[in-house]
């Protein structure tokens, strides 16, 4: 789609206050979309994302919501519609990651991940299915760990496996709606979520394992999202592994 085509569209990006979410929000803003920047708790970072989009010539607004709460998830979409007239693209990057061997994982930590990563993805997908305008796109987020099968990631990967299942089935449930539904599965990406708790040595080791010899950057993932949100209309019901060949 040309820039002028995108300029009539509205994108709602969850978890857009940092990392891949922020990079995606800024990328879609550069494409000409009006962006609704969702955040859960860090208003300052969300406003920084809005400022970056506006200073680059785009349109953006920040809206807070707990996407694990049905009423707040619905209110988030209602606010986006009130601000911008409708929603054409939903990018659901919001998620948390708690690592540890399955045998030692605290069930409360598992439940926290499930609430955001699975319940949140379900509620956002449900609202998107009900509200996206024709020509729209829903992009959920999985992880390449579902292929890499790294020790310590069992609980996290399980939540993302659930997201993949919901995404692929929803794409088929929306037959005739002219709405695409896909998931992006990043590999190791230099975000605060990934870097937290890792030594420089471990980060360098992970970066060297892939054929590209580096970690992904949030902007690398944002480019994949922009394709699915715009020109990639013939890609539907797929999981795209954006990992530089690491898996």
State yes or no: is 156 an active-site residue. Answer: yes
Catalytic residue among 39, 153, 156, 241: 156
Beta-ladder partners of 186: 242
Provide the strand spans (E) within 22-163: 34-39, 59-64, 89-92, 137-141
Task: List all residues 6 or more positions away from 231 whose beta carbon is below 8 Å from its beta carbon.
Answer: 1
Token code pair at residue 132: 């996206």
CA distance 155 to 223: 28
Token code pair at residue 121: 């993805």
3-state secondary structure of 168: helix
| Active site (catalytic) residues | 156
């Amino acid at each position: 789609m040309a820039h002028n085509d995108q300029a009539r569209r509205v994108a709602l990006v969850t978890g857009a206050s940092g990392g891949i979410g922020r990079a995606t929000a800024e990328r879609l803003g550069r494409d000409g979309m009006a962006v609704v920047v969702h955040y859960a708790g860090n208003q300052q970072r969300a406003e920084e994302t809005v400022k970056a989009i506006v200073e680059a010539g785009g349109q953006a607004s920040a809206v807070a919501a707990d996407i694990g709460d049905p009423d707040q998830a619905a209110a988030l979409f209602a606010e986006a519609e009130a601000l911008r007239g409708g929603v054409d693209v939903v990018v659901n990057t919001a998620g948390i990651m708690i690592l540890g061997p399955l045998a030692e994982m605290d069930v409360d930590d598992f439940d926290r991940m499930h609430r955001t990563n699975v319940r949140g993805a379900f509620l956002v997908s449900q609202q998107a299915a009900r509200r996206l305008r024709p020509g729209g796109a829903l992009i959920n987020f999985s992880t390449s760990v579902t292929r890499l099968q790294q020790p310590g990631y069992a609980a996290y990967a399980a939540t993302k496996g659930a997201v993949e299942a919901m995404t692929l089935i929803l794409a088929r449930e929306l037959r005739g709606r002219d709405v695409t539904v896909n998931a992006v599965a990043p590999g190791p990406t230099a975000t605060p979520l990934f870097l937290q708790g890792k030594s420089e040595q471990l980060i360098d080791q992970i970066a060297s394992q892939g054929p590209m010899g580096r970690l992904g950057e949030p902007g690398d993932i944002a480019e994949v999202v922009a394709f699915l949100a715009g020109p990639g209309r013939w890609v539907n019901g797929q999981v795209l592994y954006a990992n530089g060949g690491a898996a």
